[in-house]
Every structure is written in C-alpha cells, then in structure tokens.
C-alpha cells in the first residue's frame, strides 16, 4: 500500500476503484465456485463478529440508559457489513461496531444528558450531527489521500492502542462483575431477585459463570494442540469453541432454575426489535433540526476525534487483513474504502445507530480462515492429480509435474500484483534430492498428502461471498433477539475479559512489559521461544527505558478516558505519538535500536538466531505429522501481523561435517559466523553481550565470559553450542 504518488486529490480513490472493478465479477464467481465450503469461514467470522457486538450493545445499553441496545449495534454491523461486502473495495475487511465507538458514544451521552437543552432525548439526534460531521471529515481524508500516511503510525502507536483497548475491555469486565453484586438502577428494588440474599447469590453465580466462560474459552482456543479427540473435533473446538462456550454457559445458567427466582442470574437487557418502544430510535432524522445550533457546531469536536479514530482503525484493520504474507492477488483499496466508510457513518447517524468500522482482530481472522479454505481446495485437487499420476506408474519428477500443472489450473486469471508463482520449488528439490528422479514411486512410500502439504504456498480465497453472508447472519441475529436475551450478562463479562486477554499475545509492547517483569535468571527462556529481533539486538536497559516511556504514555491515555468530558479527546493522544516518535524519541535512543523496537511497518526484519531448534524444527515436524490447521495457527495467530519470517540461509557448504560432538567452542564460533552472515549489523560483541545479559548477570558481571573463550563446558553446551549446532543442521537441511 501507501503509493507515493497519491497526493493528488481523488487520485487514490480513482486508482482503487479502477483496480477493484477489474476483479469485481471474479469476486463473486470465485466465491460461488467454492460451493458449500464457503460456509466454514462464514460462520467462523459471524460468531467472532456477532458476540462482541452483542456485548458492546449490553455495554451501551447500560451506559446510555437504554438509548442504544444490542439491537442497534447488531443492525449497524449488519447494514454496514452488507453494503461494504457488495460495494466496498476490500471484501476481506470485516466491519462492525467497535470498542472505541462505544467509548466515544458513552462520552457523548454523559455530555448530552446533563445539558438542559439537549438531554438524553435529543442525544441520538445530536449523534446524528456528529456522524454527519465525521462522514464529511472522512470524505476529506479519503479525497486528499491521507491513507498514504498511515505508516507514520508505527508499531509504537498501534500496539499502545491495542493495549489501551485491552485495558478498557478488562475494565468493563471487572465493572460488570462488580455490578452483579449490586442492585441496578431503573429496576423495581422490591422484586424477589433484589433481596440481599439473592443479590449476593446473583453475584456469586455471576463470578462462576464469567470465570467459567473465561477459562473454557481460553482453553478451547488451544484445542488444535490438544492430544485428545479427532482432528476435525479439535479444529471445530478451536474455531467455534468460544461461541459454543457462550451457549454452554448459558445452559449452565439454567441448571438451578427451579431453586432461584426469575432474574437470577441477570440476563441481557434489550427490547425486541418488534416491540413498540424500539421504533423511536429509527426516526432520529426528524429530530435533528431540534438540536440547538451551538450543539451542532460543538458536534465537530467528537466528530473530528471519531474521524481520527476511524482513519486510524479502519486503515490498520485493512492493512492487517491484507498483509504481504497472505500472498494476495487482488489490489487493496484504502482510499475508496475510507470514502465509503464516510457514507456509512452518515447513514448510521441519520437512523440513530452507532456507526461501524473495520474491526481487529476479526478482519485478519477472516483472511486467515479464507487461506485455510483455499489451502483445502488446492490440496484436494493436487492430491487427486498426484494419485492419478502414481497409478499410471510415474517417476517422482512426473508426479511433481502433475501437481504443478494442477496448481496452475486452479490459479485465477486475474493476477494484479507480484510475479507469477508456483509450488514451493525448494520443497520439491528436497524431495528429489533424496531419491533418483527416475525411480518409480508408489503410495506406500510416497506420502501424497504430506507432500502436497509441503509444497503448497499460502494463498487466500479472495471473494465477497463470505463477508456478505456473515453480515446477513448478523442481520438474522436481530430477529433472534429473544434467544440472544437468554445469555446471562455475567457470561458476557467473561467474554470481555477473554477478548482483552486474547488480544495480548503477539503485541510486542506487551511482550516487552512481560520481559521487564521476568526474573533476570529467566530471560534466557525468551530466547528459546520465538522472539522478536529486539531481544537480541537491543541492550536490555535501552529496551527497559523505551518500554517504561511507552507504559507511561499508555497510563496517561488511560487516565484521560476517565476524565468526564475531555476524555473524548483520547484519540488525539494517539495522533500525538506521530510527532513524538519522529522528533522526540530519536534524541534519546539510537536509530538502529529504535528501528528494532518500533518497526515502521508491521513486517519484521529477518530473524537472527533462535537459541533452540524450535522455530524450524517445530514447523517441519508439524507439517509432516500434525494438522495443517495448526501450522496455519502458528503462522497467523499474532494479531497485529507480526509474522516471523525465518529466512533460510544457504549455509550447507560451510556447515558440512565436523560440528557434531566436536569441542563446544566450535558451536559458538559457528553461531557467530551465522549471526554475522545473516545480519552484518550485529557484531560478535553484540551477540556476546546480549547472551550474557540474558544469562542473568549484567554487562560487568564476573559470570559473563565476554570476550574470553568459555571455559565451562556447560555454558557452551547449554546456551551456545547445542542451539547453534542444531540450528545449523536444520538450516543445512532446509536449503
């Protein structure tokens, strides 16, 4: 994205429309050609999208005294989703009502309800004006090509925003659970459920339900690596476990129905869309002129904040849904989609519902599920082709040829970007390397399914159907309101906590905070796992300073959201990070360190060395033994797109024999060579220093063998030699 030439007004939008129009027909035909299999990603994203939206509805219902309920949030998500899926530029992007919108609406309600000439009655009319202004600002941004600037928001801003959202989620979860122990307003305090004993019982029941949901949801996400159950079952639990758990815990909440009065536990409060009171929301447009002029002008303040938010959030979601690693073939459409978002915001405002924008993590989740779908389709085709070939007594070379041919047949004719691709050549050469190419193969020795898994590149079924269908399913939720109202509110608080916790892994800011609290003697464990580049290249103290600064900034942002009315300005703090990053931080940190700590793009530099053989060893083992879904999981779960790309370096020649069982110093020496080979910026000294850092001592610790040949054999065997050798032998193999 971010073409340099798009500063001419309308230029970006024009390019986007031109690019997407060329593949518009294919967007639909490709979707229908996938057949019923398209339902898997559709339902997956539907659940991931609907449950948070219902939860936000519950939150808004409480925070706006019932002015906005789950009906409105669902309608907004469905309406914007349908329109975007049909005429939007990027069909991989999922739209929905998001947490920042909820927070802004809460601020606005708290402001409006205390004004005599506005009050809660004119609140929705006023938000209509806010949305109108927001839409106009978004038009401006789209026309001027502001999306070309989005990469000025570095990882620093994106991850700080991510953690801020997680903190707000967690705050809602805690507040919700605490409220379960109190008597809510707007209720009849004389009914049985509000006697002290039952209020206490409701709170305890709520604790059980919310922690039950949280625990089981977190566990079910990891189902793919369970040891029990068939592959399809584990895959099903991993993909649909969270909605299933919402249903399970809702059922659990009915177990003591005989012994408790109605209303224990408390459930979702929302009118049915067809009940009489629900209609008044939709005619807001009639009241918009009743809003005093001063408030119409004042609406520009929240509007500009929301515009900033949407510009940021919508673009980042689009970016993450269309990362390089997904190997997409159709062009992006940042400018045009921002324009469309402006229209959608105005539309939502005029009918009195909160607007939707591109959501994280649902958008990248959508792309990931479509990659799995494409993978399955390709695999079936290639396996069939290879089997047919083997039955006709072919050589290994011929089998690979038939697979390549079948693959090319499956390719769409619309290739807009990137060079022409094929199956993974390196993998096929590896296969050919172990056997004479003229040998006849049979299925008993040539494991077709495993081979196909290995040569298939990552590709995505790019189409509009799944997005359209999931939006229609969300619309169906509005009709299913009587069922949805059976969900206990405490289950939703658990879901809030789940979303907060799930958003943390992969966030480097979070990982650095964790590293700060890691005992010095345990920091070596970080090196054993997959880890970011900065762990190896940036001194611990620098990393700590940077993280402390970011944490301070985060706490200021969080504090601002607590300020009664001025809290509406919190998106400004995120904007303000751009100049801070560009002009202030370079005075305190070295350029190379800043680059590693805060990559401007969400892509990462090639990884250096891992101290263990996990990264490659794991993947290669997984490819042959485990389910493909698990491999995909490993590649795409990191929410903000930090996909590790471990570049295989051609070292086979220099590795050869002689490194096994040799002197331990040999391993370290080899390791240093690899480090300087892969990344000349990292000198031996840096490597040694960072290793001694993570061994527990400081730079001047007497335990650190800096610059000296390590005498203790354990040092080399455990930290250096073992890892280095094993990694090297892996590198040698994978070339």
Binding mask 603-642 for a second copy (x = CB under 8 A): ----------x---x--xx-xxxxx---------------
Total of chain residues touching a second copy, rule CB under 8 A: 92
Stretch that binds a second copy, among 282-290, 449-457, 472-480, 601-609 (CB under 8 A): 449-457
Which H or E element spans position 693?
A: helix 684-694
Considering only residues 288 to 307 of the shown chain, the ones binding a second copy according to CB under 8 A are none
- The yes or no reply on residue 435 touching a second copy (CB under 8 A) is yes
Shortest reach from residue 189's CB to a second copy, in Å: 16
Please give the structure tokens belonging to residue 193.
């459920």
In the bound state with a second copy, the residue whose beta carbon lies nearer, of 104 and 390, is 390
In the bound state with a second copy, the residue whose beta carbon lies nearer, of 22 and 219, is 219
Distance CA 464, CA 89 (A): 10
In the bound state with a second copy, the residue whose beta carbon lies nearer, of 157 and 201, is 201
Stretch that binds a second copy, among 40-48, 98-106, 368-376, 521-529 (CB under 8 A): 521-529
- The yes or no reply on residue 256 touching a second copy (CB under 8 A) is yes
Stretch that binds a second copy, among 126-134, 199-207, 302-310, 368-376 (CB under 8 A): 199-207
- The yes or no reply on residue 521 touching a second copy (CB under 8 A) is yes
In the bound state with a second copy, the residue whose beta carbon lies nearer, of 517 and 562, is 517
Give Cα 304 to chain centroid, integer Å.
26
- The yes or no reply on residue 183 touching a second copy (CB under 8 A) is no
Considering only residues 366 to 405 of the shown chain, the ones binding a second copy according to CB under 8 A are 396
| Crossing angle of the two packed helices 99-113 and 123-143, in degrees rounded to 10 | 130
Which H or E element spans position 357?
A: strand 357-358
In the bound state with a second copy, the residue whose beta carbon lies nearer, of 454 and 639, is 454
Considering only residues 221 to 240 of the shown chain, the ones binding a second copy according to CB under 8 A are 226-231, 234
Q: 447 vs 129, 382, 402, 427, 444, CA distance in Å?
A: 63, 13, 15, 14, 7
Stretch that binds a second copy, among 99-107, 255-263, 289-297, 575-583 (CB under 8 A): 255-263
Shortest reach from residue 520's CB to a second copy, in Å: 9
- The yes or no reply on residue 519 touching a second copy (CB under 8 A) is yes
In the bound state with a second copy, the residue whose beta carbon lies nearer, of 83 and 441, is 441
Distance CA 675, CA 671 (A): 6
- The yes or no reply on residue 702 touching a second copy (CB under 8 A) is yes
| Crossing angle of the two packed helices 614-625 and 722-734, in degrees rounded to 10 | 50
Which H or E element spans position 594?
A: helix 591-597
Question: Would you say 358 and 94 are in contact if contact means Cβ atoms under 8 Å apart?
Answer: yes
- The yes or no reply on residue 67 touching a second copy (CB under 8 A) is no
In the bound state with a second copy, the residue whose beta carbon lies nearer, of 276 and 702, is 702
Considering only residues 113 to 172 of the shown chain, the ones binding a second copy according to CB under 8 A are none
Q: Which of 612, 609, 708 is nearest to 665 (CA)?
A: 708
Considering only residues 403 to 432 of the shown chain, the ones binding a second copy according to CB under 8 A are 430-431
DSSP string over 66-112: TSS-HHHHHHHHHHHHHHHHHH-S-TTPPEE--HHHHHHHHHHHHHH
Which H or E element spans position 587?
A: none
Q: Which of 447, 468, 418, 419 is nearest to 30 (CA)?
A: 468
In the bound state with a second copy, the residue whose beta carbon lies nearer, of 589 and 715, is 715
From 124, 339, 715, 724, residue interacting with a second copy (rule: CB under 8 A): 715
- The yes or no reply on residue 531 touching a second copy (CB under 8 A) is no
- The b-or-e profile of 639-668 (16+ CB within 10 A means b, else e) is bbbbbbebeebebeeebeeebeeeebebbb
In the bound state with a second copy, the residue whose beta carbon lies nearer, of 42 and 427, is 427
Distance CA 496, CA 62 (A): 15
Considering only residues 450 to 479 of the shown chain, the ones binding a second copy according to CB under 8 A are 450-451, 454
- The yes or no reply on residue 184 touching a second copy (CB under 8 A) is no
Which H or E element spans position 346?
A: helix 334-350
Distance CA 23, CA 415 (A): 9
């Amino acid at each position: 994205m971010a073409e340099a030439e798009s500063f001419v007004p309308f230029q970006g939008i024009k390019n986007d429309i031109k690019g997407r129009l060329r593949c518009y027909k294919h967007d639909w035909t490709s979707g229908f050609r996938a057949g019923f299999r398209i339902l898997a990603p559709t339902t997956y994203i539907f659940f991931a999208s609907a449950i948070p939206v219902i939860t936000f509805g519950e939150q808004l219902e409480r925070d706006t005294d019932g002015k906005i309920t789950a009906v409105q949030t669902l309608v907004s998500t469905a309406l914007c989703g349908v329109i975007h899926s049909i005429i939007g530029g990027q069909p991989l992007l999922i739209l929905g009502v998001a947490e920042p919108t909820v927070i802004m609406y809460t601020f606005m309600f708290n402001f409006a309800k205390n004004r005599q000439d506005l009050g809660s009655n004119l609140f929705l009319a006023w938000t209509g004006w806010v949305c109108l202004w927001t839409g106009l600002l978004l038009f401006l941004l789209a026309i001027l090509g502001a999306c070309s600037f989005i990469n000025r928001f570095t990882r620093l801003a994106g991850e700080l925003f991510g953690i801020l959202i997680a903190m707000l989620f967690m705050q809602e979860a805690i507040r919700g659970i605490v409220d379960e122990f109190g008597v809510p307003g707007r209720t009849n305090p004389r009914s049985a459920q509000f006697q002290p004993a039952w209020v206490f019982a409701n709170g305890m029941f709520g604790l059980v339900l919310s922690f039950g949901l949280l625990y089981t949801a977190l566990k079910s996400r990891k189902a793919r690596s369970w040891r029990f159950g068939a592959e399809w079952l584990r895959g099903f639990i991993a993909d649909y476990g969270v909605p299933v758990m919402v249903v399970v815990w809702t059922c659990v909440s009915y177990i003591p129905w005989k012994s408790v009065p109605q209303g224990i536990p408390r459930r979702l409060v929302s009118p049915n869309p067809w009940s009489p009171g629900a209609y008044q929301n939709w005619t807001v447009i009639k009241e918009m002129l009743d809003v005093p002029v001063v408030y119409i002008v004042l609406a520009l303040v929240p509007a500009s904040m929301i515009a900033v938010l949407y510009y940021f959030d919508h673009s980042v979601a689009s970016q993450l849904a269309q990362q390089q690693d997904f190997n997409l073939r159709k062009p992006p459409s940042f400018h045009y989609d921002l324009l469309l978002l402006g229209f959608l915001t105005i539309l939502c405002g005029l009918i009195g519902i909160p607007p939707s924008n591109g959501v994280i993590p649902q958008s990248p989740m959508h792309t990931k599920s479509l990659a799995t779908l494409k993978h399955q389709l390709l695999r079936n085709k290639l396996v069939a082709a290879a089997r047919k070939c083997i039955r006709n007594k072919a050589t290994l070379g011929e089998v690979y040829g038939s697979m390549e041919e079948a693959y090319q047949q499956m390719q769409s004719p619309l290739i807009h970007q990137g060079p022409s691709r094929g199956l993974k050549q390196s993998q096929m050469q590896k296969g050919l390397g172990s056997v004479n190419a003229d040998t006849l193969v049979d299925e008993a020795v040539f494991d077709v399914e495993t081979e196909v898994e290995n040569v298939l590149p990552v590709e995505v079924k790019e189409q509009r159907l799944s997005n359209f269908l999931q939006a229609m399913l969300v619309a169906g939720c509005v009709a299913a309101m009587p069922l949805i109202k059976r969900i206990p509110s405490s289950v939703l608080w658990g879901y809030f906590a789940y979303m907060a916790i799930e958003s943390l892994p992969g966030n480097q800011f979070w990982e650095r905070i964790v590293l700060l609290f890691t005992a010095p003697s345990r920091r070596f464990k970080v090196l054993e796992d997959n880890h970011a580049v900065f762990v190896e290249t940036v001194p611990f103290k620098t990393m700590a300073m940077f993280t402390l600064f970011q944490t301070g900034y985060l706490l200021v942002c969080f504090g601002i959201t607590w300020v009664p009315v001025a809290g509406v300005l919190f998106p400004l703090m995120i904007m303000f990070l751009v100049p801070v990053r560009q002009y202030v931080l370079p005075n305190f940190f070295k350029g190379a360190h800043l680059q590693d700590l805060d990559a401007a793009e969400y892509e990462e530099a090639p990884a250096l060395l891992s101290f263990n053989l996990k990264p490659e060893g794991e993947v290669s083992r997984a490819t042959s033994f485990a389910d493909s879904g698990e491999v995909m999981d490993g590649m795409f779960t990191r929410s903000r797109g930090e996909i590790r790309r471990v570049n295989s370096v051609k070292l086979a020649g220099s590795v050869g024999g002689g490194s096994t069982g040799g002197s331990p110093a040999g391993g370290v020496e080899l390791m240093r060579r690899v480090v300087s080979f892969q990344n000349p910026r990292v000198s031996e000294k840096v490597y040694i220093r960072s290793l001694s850092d993570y061994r527990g001592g400081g730079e001047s610790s007497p335990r650190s063998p800096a610059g000296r040949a390590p005498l203790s054999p354990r040092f080399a065997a455990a930290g250096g030699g073992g890892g280095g050798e094993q990694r090297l032998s892996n590198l040698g193999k994978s070339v």
